[in-house]
Amino acid sequence: MTAIEQPVLTLDPEEAGRVRQERLERIGRWVLPLAIMILAIWFWDRICVWNEIPKYILPRPGVVLQTLYDDAGLLFSSLLVTLRITFLSLLLAVIGGVGLAVLFAQSKWVEMSFFPFAIVLQVTPIVAIFPLINIYVNNQTVKLLLCAWIVAFFPILSNTTLGLNSVDRNLRDMFKLNGATRWQQLRYLRLPAAMPYFLGGWKIAGGLSLIGAVVAEFVAGAQGQSSGLASRIIEAGYRLNAPRLFAALILISLTGIVIFLVLSLVSHLILRRWHESALKQER
């Protein structure tokens, strides 16, 4: 499409309609969710006013925002504690998940033998395991990390394992023909091929490690041993400080959203040149 062609381009009604439709969709994608969100917050505010709900039951949005500002020091220092656990456990989940997947990929026998253990770890609710960890582990940080790790590592492990095993058969033959060693096959073929799968697992694990961290803090916080956001929520709950409870809640979900967006962006940047999932739609 050149600049000269552009002005003389006359569209028939069908094409013109399609262009209009696309433009509307592009705007709507951002405007609609925002509008609904604003409407919902307004409705929340109205409900509080109409029903004269006291703020220790349901605070108005403005009050929550004010609390977020007033308690910023306290809340953000707690957020940092939670974030530290989240990122450390995500890091460990990546190392552990990919490491185990590579180990499993070395031999079907290893995978068959040990994969069930990973599944057992995954399906047992972390809240049920925590009392045990609490008995065996003394260090508070290690305790929380272990919890968050157990929750987060599985999607990375299972996705990466799947990726390492879904290499094109012909490519595998090609490597064999060229006398590739096991290490070369892993380094130049299987790991890059597993990348999209790994990144998919990573995105899930990002959210899960936050959930894992918060859940672990909840269980630990109930025993007054934690200073993360979850313990702020529990504390606020005891004191009927609903505005602070809401403020902490909002911080947690914002954190989750930011983690997801960042991981999605990184994943997109890595895959954008070659993988179907990251390519712009063409017609």
Q: Which residues bind another protein (CB under 8 A)?
A: 168, 170-171, 173-180, 184, 188-189, 192, 195, 273-275, 279
From the CB of 271, what's the least distance to another protein, in Å? 8
Separation CA 145–CA 90 (nearest Å): 9
Nearer to another protein, 2 or 178 (CB): 178
From its phi and psi, is residue 281 left (phi > 0), alpha (psi between -120 and 50) or beta? Answer: beta
Nearer to another protein, 44 or 175 (CB): 175
From the CB of 157, what's the least distance to another protein, in Å? 22
Phi and psi at 221, nearest 5°, equal -65, -30
Separation CA 87–CA 132 (nearest Å): 23
From the CB of 192, what's the least distance to another protein, in Å? 5
Nearer to another protein, 70 or 168 (CB): 168
From the CB of 171, what's the least distance to another protein, in Å? 6
From the CB of 47, what's the least distance to another protein, in Å? 52
Nearer to another protein, 55 or 275 (CB): 275
> Are 182 and 215 contacting, i.e. CB atoms less than 8 angstroms apart?
no
> Three-state SS across 220-258?
HHCCCCCCCHHHHHHHHHHCCCHHHHHHHHHHHHHHHHH
Nearer to another protein, 67 or 160 (CB): 160
Distances (CA, A) of 82 to 145, 147, 208, 232, 255: 10, 13, 13, 11, 10
